[in-house]
Structure 1
Amino acid sequence: MSFTALVTDKGEDGKVASRIAELDDAQLPDGNVLIGIDWAGFNYKDGMALAGIGGLVRAYPHIGGVDFAGRVIESTDERYHPGQAVVLTGWRVGEWHWGGFATRARVDADWLVPLPKQLSTRHAMVLGTAGLTAMLAVNRLKSEGIKPSDGDILVTGAGGGVGSMAVLLLARLGYKVHAMTGRAELADDLKALGASEVVGREVLTKSGKKLMATRWVGAVDSVGGAPLGELLKQIHGGGCVAAVGLAAGDAWDASVIPFILRGITLAGIDSVMQPFEARTAAWDRLSALFGFGVYERMVREVGLADLPELSSEILAGKIKGRVIVSPKS
């Protein structure tokens, strides 16, 4: 059988380019489950892979797409059967292994999660890696004892996929959420998701101080870099910051002072290599908690041919919410 894919390749000049191509099933990588893909997500990592930056892709030609949802076509693993709806996020798929920017994929059964019955495959990709990551971050804040009655929660990079979903999830759980974004035009969208206040990036500008007046009891941080260092200085004693991204960089100037004088926690959230049990628990929670009708204003549908151009937009921080990809359109 043949299938359609967005194939990314590197030329002799070292430049990376992508094109739509028809491939044969025999060209798919090894795996024990063959999936017909209904929807894929478009994430920051996907933008990096299509631009050929970050060293994410190990070998060319390559098919990107770090998350996708669809139905099983064939399986030699007894856990999965033809017609079953599944979702895949992480496990270096779309980086080291061919991913979701195609109408078919072959993967390891251990990487899959059966889709909760309440979710369609489109719902699954509205959520995707962003939704899973946001849910894991919210769960971590809760496990650290951060309650809605304790105070305000900051979400940085609130206009992006992870950030916007964290705003919605926290608000639905009763937290008072401050949404930080550099795009003032998104204020109405973020308030519709449940943000009680929308703040600009200036709340985390460099202060030169070791500690600052406390402002938030917790945070979901998707930007990293220098803003994270400033954020840690403003967290209440015993508070927690769940770090999920590095849109502003992977390093910051900081000290141990907030940790040893205020007892705060910096919790890293890894959504790529999460074990099966944690994934299924998060997807079940998302299926019950997420408000798809409210979030639809943050969703954009595209086809495979649109992705190369969109890569520059997502890397420049110009994408709102989630972009979902119909590989058949």
Structure 2
Amino acid sequence: MRLLFRAFAVVVGLSLLAFYAVLALLTYQFLLLLWSVRPDPAVSVALVSAVVLLTAWANYRFGVPRLLASVDAMPLAPERAPALYRRLDALCDRMEIATPAVYVARLAAPNAFALGGPRDGIVVVDRSLFRMLSADEFEALLAHELAHLEGYDGLVQMFAISALRTVVGVLALALLPVALFFEGVARATAWVRGTPTATPLSNDEYGAAGVVTLVAVGLTLFVRAYSRRREFAADDRAVEVTGRPLSLARALHRLQQATESPLSLFFGMPTPTPAPADDTQLGRLLSTHPPLEARIERLVKKAEQRDAAARSIPIR
């Protein structure tokens, strides 16, 4: 009986191997057919670029309303916060951008973020910020978000993510025949060994999948590094516009305290609080924002440098 089962398992394993081999071959032939009818390189690049742009536009067009709805964001009318809008309009005049729509939301932690560009921007602020921050601190935080709108940061990152997904998808499609073949080898081997429920991945399959994973991770790290640089750039631009680096430093410090302190729950802070930041090297590489401590330290140094420069100016 056992010999009969072994024979049956071998037959099933070889059949699976043949099935996956034929499927891999057909996929390979199909990809060759697509390659043979490919347009010239300029048209190919234009088509890929069009796909990336269309995907990014669709993500923005349909993603923004879903995001606003997910955080219960409601538009803040100018008559409800005239002082805020006066400061916001003054900042926008200095930066030569259109005044964005302001939404008040219930975020997972006290924070603010910007969506869109300099002509159709949206700034979302957590409702707790109105209690936490002084007027100057709030203005500095708004200037930081306006700097993101001025630099098209959100749109650039959205296009970058769409390009990343397109590249990874094309690469995965190109390696699909290899992946299918070694999937068949793995399944056939499992049946021949008498363990049909186990499908160990072969080293070759790890190699095929590893290429896609390596490219995806590399591009992701590049996008995250760009995002971290833009956070520093937005801090610098906010300081340039407001002239008050310590106001932004204090605002960031208050956000950090509210996130870390369990007492924030008793002062109306939104729940749940986010998980602590990952301070490992990998965590820093995968983060879209630099550590708040680093940003605060840079701002404090800027304030010290301004004070030192002011003291060094001779009085005539």
TM value normalised by structure 1? 0.21
- Structure with greater Cα Rg: 2
Report the structure, 1 or 2, having the larger strand content. Answer: 1
Q: Which has the higher contact order (CA 8 A, sep 6+)?
A: 2
Report the structure, 1 or 2, having the larger helix content. Answer: 2
